[in-house]
């Protein structure tokens, strides 16, 4: 394989682009670790006057990165080279966070020190609590999350500049720890209950669930199965290379914006129903089908004929075979429900819907398969997370990935992200005073 890859790479180190007017431009070809080939068009405009046009960036590599590898045709996902299947079943979330950001699995002493740092940074500045009070009770948790992550810039001004690795480590610990405190406080405020301060004796995931669900004098002690499922959920969401929110973080960071501002914009991008918001949309869709008289085949028919209805939790820009995260989560949902002695008609419905879709020509032709959001909601629901917090849970998981990408770009001293466009508006025309416009 090595020899073949090298031979191919040598053969294709230059691409030739033939343009109208018999002009040919030579463009260098970059080859990635896994033999991915990319034509480097960064000098194309200078050489020819042409730019490339790629709606939604479906065919554009925006950077080179060492963090995450996906083979969408084979259903492969690796963080820093480690298969997702191994990480999901054998590691802890904070270990994966360290791996993504610093590049290697932590040694036991690094992991212990990181864990202590997370514990030390779990509290929010009391001033931030007053900001929570200013939100209306029905404020969307994603809006609160984004606003409060950005507000961290005000409370930790010393971290607005990254002078060295120590600053980075401090900002990392603050963000990864506080994002879960902010999330839990948003939830408590939204239901009109007092907040639970973080408990330094608890692990990352257990502490989060304590902040969410403990009541006065009744501490919430999550069953081990719940902790395992939650860890797995967070690990599976921790990174996914240049997805919409991570690209947003990189674009914002490329202007020199600080880590808090950049990750807060990542939360906003994640919110949309085509991205992280899909986990809410899936449960709403399943609930709707369950509560209505619609049969599964009627719903599938609607998806195929109504351009405004999509099968939520299906399809992916990169995966064209299966999403390995969905396979893991489907089994995890079964395991969790069995362990807790629960049954959820929505899980049964999801499985049936998957079977109907997988045998339908529309989905087969377009290579649409269940994605990470299809089964994750069933797990969150079983844990007791309310639906309006589902995308917040995705954000807690994705935080290490956002940080890793922001830092990688920072170290690469990348150029500001500033795409071009093809203008299709009006040609030059004169201003007409208001009284002369008819
Ligand atoms: N249901 C029905 N048809 C679909 C779906 C779907 N979920 N997804 C794509 N299609 C169709 C689409 O209508 C188009 O058909 P045609 O060629 O006839 O016009 C074709 O498949 C290609 O779709 P596309 O919109 O060009 O694909 P994309 O790569 O731009 O979009 C996607 C990817 C994930 C946004 C899209 O599949 C989708 O909207 N899925 C539902 C929302 C969802 O589950 N999002 C979570 C994504 S995974 C986690 C994450 O990123 O947060």
Q: Is 83 helix (H, G, I), strand (E, B) or coil?
A: strand
Q: Are strands 68-71 and 82-83 parallel, antiparallel or unpaired?
A: unpaired
Does the annotation mark 373 as catalytic? yes
pLDDT in the model for residue 158? 86
Name every protein residue with a CB atom under 6 angstroms from any ligand 1 atom: 56, 243, 274-276, 278, 303, 310-317, 366, 368, 371-373
Does the annotation mark 37 as catalytic? no
Q: Is 58 helix (H, G, I), strand (E, B) or coil?
A: coil
pLDDT in the model for residue 7? 35
pLDDT in tens, the chain (438 residues): 333 333 333 446 899 999 999 999 999 999 999 999 999 999 999 999 999 999 999 999 999 999 999 999 999 999 999 999 999 999 999 999 999 999 999 999 999 999 999 999 999 999 999 999 899 988 999 999 999 999 999 999 888 888 789 999 999 999 999 999 999 999 999 898 999 999 999 999 999 999 999 999 999 999 999 999 999 999 999 999 999 999 999 999 999 999 999 999 999 999 999 999 999 999 999 999 999 988 999 999 999 999 999 999 999 999 998 999 999 999 999 999 999 999 999 999 999 999 999 999 999 999 999 999 999 999 999 999 999 999 999 999 999 999 999 999 999 977 999 999 999 999 999 999 999 998
Q: What distance in angstroms lies between residue 358's CA and the mean position of ligand 1's atoms? A: 15
**Is 378 within 8 Å of 351 (Cβ atoms)?**
no
pLDDT in the model for residue 161? 83
Beta-bridged to residue 69, according to DSSP, are 78
Q: Measured at the alpha carbon of residue 272, what is the angle toward residues 271 and 277, in degrees to the nearest 5?
A: 70
The preferred substitution site among 272, 315, 370 for testing ligand 1, maximizing ligand atoms within 8 Å of CB, is 315
Tokens of 389: 């917090």
Q: What distance in angstroms lies between residue 362's CA and the mean position of ligand 1's atoms? A: 12
Q: Which atom of ligand 1 is nearest to the CA of 276?
A: 52
Q: Is 322 helix (H, G, I), strand (E, B) or coil?
A: coil
Separation CA 297–CA 8 (nearest Å): 47
431 exposure class (CB count in 10 Å sphere: 0-12, 13-18, 19+): exposed
Q: Considering the candidates 275, 316, 323, 405, report the single residue annotated as catalytic.
A: 316
Element holding 24 (H helix, E strand): strand 23-31
Tokens of 138: 């029905």
143: which residues sit within 8 A by CB, 6+ positions away?
135
Element holding 260 (H helix, E strand): helix 259-271
Q: Which atom of ligand 1 is nearest to the CA of 307?
A: 13
What strands lie across the sheet with 23-31, from one edge to the other? 14-19, 23-31, 37-39
Tokens of 38: 């990319």
Nearest C-alpha neighbor of 237 from the set 379, 114, 57:
379
Q: Is 82 helix (H, G, I), strand (E, B) or coil?
A: strand
Separation CA 353–CA 54 (nearest Å): 33
């Amino acid at each position: 394989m090595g020899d073949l890859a090298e031979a191919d790479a040598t053969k294709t180190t230059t691409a030739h682009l033939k343009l109208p007017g018999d002009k040919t431009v030579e463009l260098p070809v970059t080859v990635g670790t896994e033999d991915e080939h990319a034509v480097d068009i960064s000098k194309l405009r200078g050489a020819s006057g042409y730019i490339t046009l790629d709606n939604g960036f479906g065919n554009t590599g925006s950077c080179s990165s060492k963090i995450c590898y996906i083979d969408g045709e084979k259903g492969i996902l690796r963080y820093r080279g480690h298969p997702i299947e191994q990480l999901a079943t054998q590691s802890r979330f904070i270990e994966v966070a360290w791996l993504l950001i610093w590049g290697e699995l932590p040694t036991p002493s690094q992991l212990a020190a990181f864990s202590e740092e997370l514990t030390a940074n779990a509290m929010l500045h009391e001033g931030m609590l007053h900001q929570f009070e200013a939100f209306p009770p029905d404020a969307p948790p994603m809006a609160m999350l984004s606003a409060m992550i950005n507000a961290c810039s005000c409370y930790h001004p010393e971290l607005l500049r990254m002078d060295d690795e120590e600053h980075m480590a401090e900002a990392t610990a603050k963000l990864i720890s506080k994002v879960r405190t902010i999330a839990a406080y948003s939830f408590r405020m939204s239901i009109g209950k007092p907040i639970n301060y973080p408990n330094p004796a608890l692990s990352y995931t257990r502490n989060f669930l304590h902040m969410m669900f403990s009541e006065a004098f009744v501490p919430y002690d999550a069953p081990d199965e719940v902790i395992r499922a939650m860890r797995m959920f967070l690990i599976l969401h921790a990174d996914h290379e240049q997805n919409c929110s991570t690209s947003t973080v990189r674009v914002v960071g490329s202007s020199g914006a600080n880590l808090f501002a950049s990750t807060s914009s990542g939360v906003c991008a994640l919110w949309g129903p085509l991205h992280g918001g899909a986990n809410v949309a899936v449960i709403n869709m399943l609930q709707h089908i369950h509560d209505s008289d619609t049969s599964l085949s009627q719903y599938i028919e609607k998806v195929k004929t109504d351009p405004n209805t999509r099968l939520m939790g299906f399809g992916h820009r990169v995966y064209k075979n299966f999403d390995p995260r969905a396979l893991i989560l489907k089994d995890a949902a079964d395991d969790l429900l069995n362990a807790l002695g629960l049954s959820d008609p929505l899980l049964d419905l999801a499985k049936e819907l998957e079977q109907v879709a997988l045998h339908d020509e529309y989905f087969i032709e377009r290579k649409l398969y269940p994605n990470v959001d299809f089964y994750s909601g069933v797990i969150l629901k079983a844990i007791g997370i309310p639906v309006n917090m589902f995308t917040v849970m995705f954000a807690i998981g994705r935080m290490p990935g956002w940080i890793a990408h922001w830092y990688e770009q920072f170290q690469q001293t990348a150029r500001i992200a500033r795409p071009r466009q093809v203008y299709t508006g009006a040609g030059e025309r004169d201003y007409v005073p208001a009284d002369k416009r008819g």
